[in-house]
Structure formats: C-alpha cells, structure tokens
Amino acid sequence: MSAGPLTQVALQGLQTRCFGQRVFSFAEVGSTNDELRRLADAGAEEGTLVIAERQTAGRGRRGRVWHSPPDTGLWCSLLLRPPASLVPSLVPLLLGIAIARGIRACCGVPAFLKWPNDVLIAGLKVAGVLCEAGPGGLVAGFGVDVNQEEFPPELPAATSILLQRGRPTDRALLLRAVLEEAERLYLDACARGPAQLIAAATALLSTLGRQVEVQLEGETLRGLACGLEADGALQLEEEGGGQRLIRAGDVQHLDQVEPLDDLTGPL
Ligand code: BTN
C-alpha cells in the first residue's frame, strides 16, 4: 500500500476545485520549492502542485537542511496567490492545520501543532512548512515524514507516522486529505476572514498554555504562550512581566507534558 509512487495518477479522485488539479511530479529534484518558483514565475496557475519522491537539497526554515529520503515522505510545494483578505503570515498555520487534520483523519493518530508551523505527534516533529514569497506568488512547501523507519542521529526530535502508528500509510490518500482540507480552509479564510482559521489553530496548538523558550534573531525569550493574534502572531507573557507578540522565531516547549487526545473531539 505505501510503496505506490506519488504521481498525478495517485491523485485521481482529488476533491478540490484548484489545489493539486495541476501536478508536476518528479523522481528527484533539488527542492520542490525551487521547481515551483520557476513555474510560478513563468505564470503557472494558483493551486499548481510540485511533488517529488526525493529532494537532494530540501530546505527547512532558518536555512536548515530538510532530510528528504526517497519514496517515504511527502515533499510538496503548492502555489498560492492569496487575496488581500488573507494575510500571507496565516498560510503556514493554515497548512499546518491541514496536515494535522489529514494525519488525524487518514492515520488515526493525534497530531498537534507547534507554533508557528511544525506538526508534532507525541511531541516529536512529523512535518514542517516553508512558505517563500516571490513575484510569481507564494510557494508553500511542506514536508511530511510518512513511512520512514529511522532517522539519522542528528535528528533526535523527528518521527514518522509509521513509527507512531506502527504500520505504513498510503501517501496519496494522505496528500489528498491534506489538499482537500487546505483548500476548504483557504476558501473560507479568503471569503470570511481569519476567525475560523485562528480558532482551528488554537484548538490544535500544543504550544498554547505552556512555558516556552523563543529563539529570535539575536535574542532569547521565555514565558507563557497564551494566544494568537488575528495575523497568527504568538502572544507571549514574558517571565519578567509584559506581553510580546512573536511574528517569527523558533519555539521550544519547556515541559515534556504533551496534550492527551482520544481523537473523538472536533479538532
Ligand atoms: C521546516 O520545518 O523547517 C520546514 C520544512 C519544509 C520542508 C519542505 S519539503 C518540500 C518543500 N521543499 C523544500 O525544500 N522544503 C519544503
């Protein structure tokens, strides 16, 4: 079931109007974000998706390398041109919600979010989002560790759905669920504003209500993560008093207490 290649054929039956209706699939690329950037700048339509079985130069936030071994994960980039009603800073959160919900629905494991855009299972990272803006539009790249049996020792905080679920996942099914959920959230936010998105993120964010350390460029903050602004910024009550809004940074949860979830709720 998991071994099938991720091609356009695998996406047949996708119930979207736009997201993933035009797919470019590759056996190997440097980075799917770079491939999609070229297509975007040449006028590709919104919703165009690039997928690859393997990336040789996959990248994460803050210049990190994104480990992208062959045939095991989802290495994808989706082209968006959000209207003014959807601030681009909400797109990483939107994709994180879609991935977490897709994992819950397809795999039956409780995935949560870590602000701003990591997806966690049991406190370990299973997916990340990297959005890059340019003249051709917003390239929203996402990587999901689906069927890896192991990770290199330099990634001790990484996990895969397989390791958490105990059996392989059909990547095409998962990708369809993620794209369908992402499009629903996107159309709703474009038409009605961000309230629903912020509510969904608040319900899934395991960061909220916890003591965190936030790594900014040249500064480290500690405090209680207490909520989200309408543009997705994190509200932090600093240890020494005072509130800060965090718009970019790396968050670390300072306790090991992950939320419990029996998957029966409406997340
Ligand atoms: C992060 O958590 O730091 C973001 C990781 C994003 C990885 C994905 S994989 C597909 C796309 N292409 C890339 O080079 N990066 C993103």
Give 59's pLDDT tier (boundaries 50, 70, 90).
very high
Q: Quick one: pLDDT at residue 2?
A: 42
Q: Give yes or no for residue 26 having a pLDDT over 70.
A: yes
Using a 6 Å cutoff on CB, does residue 19 contact ligand 1?
Answer: no
Q: What is the pLDDT of residue 1?
A: 39
Query: Mean pLDDT throughout 76-83?
Result: 97
The pTM score is: 0.95
Q: What is the pLDDT of residue 261?
A: 75
Tell me the pLDDT band of 259, cut-offs 50, 70 and 90. Answer: confident
Per-residue pLDDT band for 211 (boundaries 50, 70, 90) equals: very high
Ligand 1 pocket, residue 160 CB under 6 Å: no
- The residue nearest atom 9 of ligand 1, judged by CA position, is 143
The model's confidence at residue 56, banded by pLDDT at 50, 70 and 90, is: very high
| pLDDT greater at residue 259 or residue 61 | 61
Question: Ligand 1: which of 24, 26, 33, 171 to mutate, judged by most atoms within 8 Å of the beta carbon?
Answer: 33
pLDDT class of 55 with cuts at 50, 70, 90:
very high
Could you tell me what percent of the chain has a pLDDT over 90?
87
45: pLDDT strictly greater than 70: yes
- The whole-number average pLDDT for the span 73-82 is 98
- For β-strands 118-121 and 124-134, DSSP reports them as antiparallel
> Cα(86) to centroid of ligand 1, in Å?
22
CB of 130 sitting under 6 A from ligand 1: yes
Average pLDDT on 207-216 reads 94
**Cα separation of 255 and 267, whole Å?**
23
SS3 per residue for 45-104: CCCCEEEECCECCCECHHHCECCCCCCCCEEEEEEECCCCCCCHHHHHHHHHHHHHHHHH
pLDDT band at 256 (very low <50, low <70, confident <90, very high): confident
Q: What is the pLDDT of the chain when averaged over all its residues? A: 93
> What is the spatial distance between Cα 64 and Cα 80, in angstroms, rounded to a whole number?
23
User: How does strand 23-26 pair with strand 118-121?
Assistant: unpaired
Q: What is the pLDDT of residue 257?
A: 75
User: What does the pLDDT read at residue 12?
Assistant: 85
The Å distance, Cα 73 to ligand 1 centre, comes to 11
- Band the pLDDT of 260: cuts 50, 70, 90: confident
Query: Can you tell me the mean pLDDT for 121-133?
Result: 97
Residue 110 has pLDDT above 60, yes or no: yes
**What percentage of the chain reaches a pLDDT higher than 70?**
96
Say what the pLDDT of residue 267 is: 72
Which residue has the CA at smallest separation from atom 7 of ligand 1? 143
Ligand 1 pocket test, pick from 39, 49, 59 with the greatest ligand atom count within 8 Å of Cβ, gives 59
Enumerate domains of the chain plus CATH numbers.
8-202 (3.30.930.10)
What pLDDT score was predicted for residue 61? 93
- What pLDDT score does 66 carry? 97
Type of residue found at 160: S
Reported as a single tens digit per residue, the pLDDT across 176-208 is: 999 999 999 999 999 999 999 999 999 999 999
Which residues are registered as beta bridge partners of 25?
51
* CA 19/CA 79 separation, integer angstroms: 8
